[in-house]
Structure 1
């Protein structure tokens, strides 16, 4: 296995990169399928989710569930589906055991019965931690949009 030091005391590995990719595949599908509770469980209890479409950061799983359900209801009312695709993952393990990830997020919007279009292009910056069962969880997420100053 190839490894490369990325910070004092931290080592990048292909296995970690693959684990992070799988984590995001699972997480984004939960969101896009409208599984708000399951999506919230991919975050820590006290997670912070900072996205420019909301007036202030969402804090904690209960807030994440409420926010995801509101967004889902708005999409259903508009007759539209969204798909979140994360790519270009820059995975950086840190000496404290957390993992910093910077990724590009493309949000595709598809009106039911219509053609898909790129809705938003974003940058997603996460701090991932290990949960009590060893899996990854988002402790802090900041999303920026390319179309906003």
Structure 2
């Protein structure tokens, strides 16, 4: 996947990719977020829930998950840090990083939870753009 691209350039590209992706998610644009996955992408983010499969499955899962906030004036922001990239021989890249979810409600203190480790397998589409083939989110409180 790297080819002539340096690890530094790949690191910056993945950071930019994640920033765009999380702004789509936090902004509630679930179809655009799901489009950052491969057609057959896999997304596991909630403990004891099966993975969401494919873009339509990811949108359905995100709609289901966010129904709990329908009557709740909450703003959620995902923060990623400590990104570690491992290029693989098949051309994909394993990206492992920490994630915190910051939750804000009017007139209340900000909460930060959960704390997670996220593991992505990133690939390129036919145009050279990054896509997530699989994402697994492991919650620290369950480790």
TM-score, structure 2 as length reference: 0.90
Q: What is residue 79 of structure 1 aligned with on the other side?
A: 73
Contact 2:124 2:131 in 1 (8 A): yes
Is 1:98 the counterpart of 2:77? The answer is no
Aligned residue for 1:100, secondary structure, equals strand
Alignment of 1:20-39 (within 5 A): 20-39=14-33
Per-residue deviation, 1:54: 5.2
Q: Deviations over 1:44-95 (max 9, x none)?
A: 0101112234521110000111112223332232221211011100011111
**Structure 2 residue corresponding to 1:136, chosen from 125, 130, 140:** 130
Q: What is residue 55 of structure 1 aligned with on the other side?
A: 49
**Structure 2 residue corresponding to 1:145, chosen from 135, 139, 143:** 139
In 2, distance between residues paired with 1:63 and 1:85? 24
> What are structure 1's unaligned runs of at least 5 residues?
1-8
Per-residue deviation, 1:132: 1.9
**4+ residue segments displaced more than 4 Å:** 9-12
TM-score, structure 1 as length reference: 0.87
Comparing 102-111 with 64-73, which one deviates more in the overlay? 64-73
Per-residue deviation, 1:11: 7.9
Structure whose residues are more often strand by fraction? 1
Matched length: 141
Per-residue deviation, 1:108: 0.7
Contact 1:11 1:93 in 2 (8 A): no
In 2, distance between residues paired with 1:113 and 1:44? 40
Aligned residue for 1:38, secondary structure, equals helix
Q: What is residue 13 of structure 2 aligned with on the other side?
A: 19
> What are structure 2's unaligned runs of at least 5 residues?
none
Aligned residue for 2:50, secondary structure, equals coil
